[in-house]
Chain A
């Protein structure tokens, strides 16, 4: 411990928004922790955002409300923000900065880790493998989730993304394999937080969950730190304790809003729609903490949830996220309003890691071609629908009418399933064959003759 670094100062020079400037100081490091003690003994934490000769700019986690220039003591701790992690954190609820919210004492730390994380050496990474069976047909068959993957939900306000996430958590449970969940709620409403707590309780997984909650009214900087604390805990569990960690991050849009707010406050040059130029790098520093490491048993799988502002997939938040994550699951308002749950729009959805982890020896030999055929045929349905809506259904050919029927059945039988329904991959694949068999055999050009012979449902 470098004791001489623990200097104490009593006068701030300027407070603006969540930042303050302090002058006549020395030996302060960039991106290190600052402890601010108020008159009444309340302690806040800050981070040095910029240091220079004789000054530092400090960002206060938890906001500057109530701080005056002269009523506090400031201590520079000479180390970056660290988080004491331990296995005992399972089953506990924390705020966005790792302080217990459930009234129980702080768990005893086994290790103190830098919350900003360190990049995994690309040559130490192990390629994700082993599918996670979610029990949801559209995901398992067409956008398979792989252990170690980061697969976000692109949703919109009012769509049931929380329910789907809760359903995945419930159904994806792998018994006896050290499976646990880290939940980070950034700027979520209290109701949403309650919903997740309740559903974890009902599922009986609460003992295997660590929750980090920074509710909608918490300061924006806290929102930025929440996923970092959560991922620090996840890294500890995955790479020190050999657990398979599923990290739910909701809602990444709130996170990005907070980043924009702070960037504007610091007077930085904005890139697109006012978001800072480093939004991509910043998001990457979160998403890239998913994965596997060679010779380690554990893994981190991330499901970030984001609501697309105005349902616009080209908005910077979903756009940059899509460039970093390994695919995306897109929810669709039209399906939702037709009462289809989960309203997963399969065409724009994608799982990049699926290709190497399905097929013979991994799932089933017909899986890749069936999935590809379902995509192609359903895409064709969309085109035909567009034509039919102009010239009328009577005018289209009989083959096209078969496609329309296929599309309808696909949406109501395959996409649609209930919140409590868990379909095994086998069931989902069989269902896929039932549905694709509504099309004539010759139309299935992406499936081999042999597989058609073996599995195509011939009409009696």
Chain B
């Protein structure tokens, strides 16, 4: 049990000051008061330590004792993470519910992972082999989807495998292997602890080259993100940030998804949980739950734990990356995390900068986003973490500090537009304000996986959308009738593109996920339509004739082709030019 290290001298909300009679380090974990509330040392000044407490501090008194093991706040990383739901400091919420009831009481100390459950371990290395930090000694089939690799913790020095358990069922506390290095024996269990604020080491970072296919057309086709990239999704309330996050968590082709609900609605977490226990991954046919870890720190849970939840999420993501997996981390919302920083900074009476945020906000954001990326791991495998972070700008104003600083550290930006959301155009990702710098990195992937010119189509449509915006301004002034047909067709194609392509219903059984192939076919159809229409207009065909043609209706209906009937869609796309020619007769 932790020993007493000092007493409380001041309590002000979640920040408690302690007079220490022993040495304590920054970020050491402490247990505060008679309830043993979990806290973390965030500042030292003489013999006074400032502690940020992760639970409600009601009834704490001056003179109350404070205890510590003098180790930093750490996570338990091992089998049992997948499918589980934790709070911001990795306490298992299901177990808390079983033990404490429907409401979260204080001072609960339950270990994150189930220590009694037996896992079927299969060794992959032999006694006498050379082995180093991060190496895989064996594996456990954690869920039908995830093979959990048992890693040598990064802090154990390289050596020789001295012993390893045979294939069989073990609990995570048992020693699975021993490593001899420089005459010392280090034992390895199925899990190890890792400080939540410390980056897990890797060999080197490498360039990204594969898109994260999300099944969302506007994203994959226009503003793609690479595996290992960072995206920010800013939007005012009601613009659909959360639905975008949920869609990506459901449909993106990552191996592991870590979903962090940071300071958001309780009912939303319930929604995600309920959905994930039902929904099936279209690629594997398995439940989505079998590849997902949840971190839930809702808006009414203590603010200090909200600050920690982002780090908890990314550390778990790094752990799976180290096994060679492609991990996607959804953080909803980083603004709530920044606000938690601000609140704690205020309680510590630090000097505020813009809108009360502390001066270190940008460096904290940078630290977080830099933990994403595609890397070669210590064990030689390649893994990646893609971060998809939503931002909730105050008043929907993208110039506020969190959005503007975030923009410096990400390379892909999906701006959610209030006007689109008001007219229920979802996903409300603006094609004017959004951008992706990953297009060139992943161009080759599209070339290899489709038979056409994705980047060419993309440039063509973005150009049309820009032109359309300018034309709309003219239309607003003098009405659409004065435009020549060659310009009207731009408006028509863009309208078609928005309705038949960009708009995608998350709640439609078929439309909710759109494979890369289907996206490409639909994209091709619209470009083909536009090119041919321009030609026909020059030959005297009227816009109305085009609009009433079968081809036009066919394009509008493209969404409803299921993945199994894509060859029919392909036939339609191939026959379009011919069908349109018929209009001339």
Contact = CB atoms under 8 A, between A and B. Distances in A.
Interface string A321-352: 01110111000000000000000000110101
Contact of A288 (B9, B101, B265, B274): B265
A27 B299 contact: no
Contacts, number: 212
B300 A289 contact: yes
Interface string B35-76: 000000000000000000000111111110000000000000
Interface in A311-329: 314-316, 319-320, 322-324, 326-328
A277 B267 contact: no
Contact of B356 (A269, A315, A355, A380): A269
A314 B396 contact: yes
Most buried by B among A285, A352, A396: A352
A30 B35 CA distance: 13
Interface string B213-257: 000000000000000000000001110000000000000000000
B461 interface: no
B103 A121 contact: yes
A434 interface: no
A368 interface: yes
A270 B62 contact: no
Given A79-B59, A328-B238, A121 B394 contact: no
A284 interface: yes
Contact of A124 (B57, B102, B301): B102
Contact of A28 (B62, B85, B342): B62
A326 B60 contact: no
A7 B441 CA distance: 70
B266 A288 contact: yes
Contact of B93 (A29, A122, A269, A353): A122
A379 B265 contact: no
Query: Which applies to chain B's interface (DSSP): helix, strand, loop or mixed?
Result: mixed
B72 to A, nearest CB: 25
Interface residues of A, number: 80
A25 to B, nearest CB: 9
Interface stretch (B109-117, B363-371, B475-483): B475-483
A270 B353 CA distance: 11
B300 A396 contact: no
Interface string A376-393: 100110000011001100
B149 interface: no
A119 B261 CA distance: 15
A376 B10 contact: no
Contacts of A327: 238
Nearest to B60: A30
A350 B267 contact: no
Nearest to A316: B394
B392 interface: yes
Interface in A124-157: 124-128, 148-149
Interface string A278-315: 10110011001101011010000000000000000011
B105 interface: yes
Counting chain B residues whose Cβ lies within 8 A of the other chain, the interface size class is 35 or more
B376 interface: no
Interface stretch (A46-54, A203-211, A216-224, A424-432): A46-54
A362 B298 CA distance: 28
A445 interface: yes
B361 interface: no
B32 to A, nearest CB: 11
Given A80-B59, A323-B237, A122 B269 contact: yes
B271 A376 contact: no
A29 B61 contact: yes
A119 B102 contact: no
B367 to A, nearest CB: 21
Nearest to B560: A448
Interface in B77-108: 85, 93-94, 96-97, 100-105
Interface string B1-42: 000000001111000010000000000000000000000000
A272 B59 contact: no
Nearest to B237: A322
Given A30-B61, A314-B397, A284 B300 contact: yes
B97 A123 contact: yes
Contacts of A272: 355-356, 394
A52 B507 CA distance: 54
A268 interface: yes
B93 A281 contact: no
Contacts of A316: 394-395
B395 A314 contact: yes
Interface in B477-503: 477-481, 499
Contact of B85 (A122, A269, A347, A355): A122
B94 A26 contact: no
A120 interface: yes
Q: Which of B11, B300, B481 has the most CB of A within 10 A?
A: B300
A214 B397 CA distance: 35
Contact of B62 (A53, A119, A277): A53
B85 to A, nearest CB: 5
Contacts of A320: 394
Given A124-B102, A293-B102, A353-B267, A269 B352 contact: yes
A271 B356 contact: yes
Interface in B173-206: none
Interface in A371-430: 372, 375-376, 379-380, 386-387, 390-391, 395-397
B280 interface: no
Given A79-B59, A271-B342, A280-B336, A285 B270 contact: no
B136 interface: no
Contact of A51 (B11, B97, B397): B11
B274 A127 contact: yes
B346 interface: yes
28 contacts: A29-B60, A29-B61, A51-B11, A52-B9, A53-B9, A79-B59, A116-B56, A118-B56, A118-B103, A120-B300, A271-B342, A277-B356, A280-B339, A281-B340, A281-B343, A296-B102, A314-B396, A316-B394, A319-B236, A319-B394, A323-B237, A324-B299, A375-B422, A376-B425, A379-B422, A379-B424, A396-B479, A445-B556
5 smallest A-B Cβ distances: which pairs? Answer: A314-B395, A379-B423, A284-B299, A322-B237, A288-B300
Interface of A: 26-32, 50-54, 78-80, 116, 118-128, 148-149, 239, 268-272, 276-278, 280-281, 284-285, 288-289, 291, 293-294, 296, 314-316, 319-320, 322-324, 326-328, 347-348, 350, 352-353, 355-356, 368, 372, 375-376, 379-380, 386-387, 390-391, 395-397, 445
Interface of B: 9-12, 17, 56-63, 85, 93-94, 96-97, 100-105, 236-238, 261, 263, 265-267, 269-271, 273-274, 296, 298-301, 303, 336, 339-340, 342-343, 346, 349, 352, 355-356, 392, 394-397, 422-425, 475-481, 499, 507, 556
Given A328-B238, A376-B424, 6 more contacts: A52-B10, A119-B300, A123-B85, A271-B356, A288-B265, A356-B271
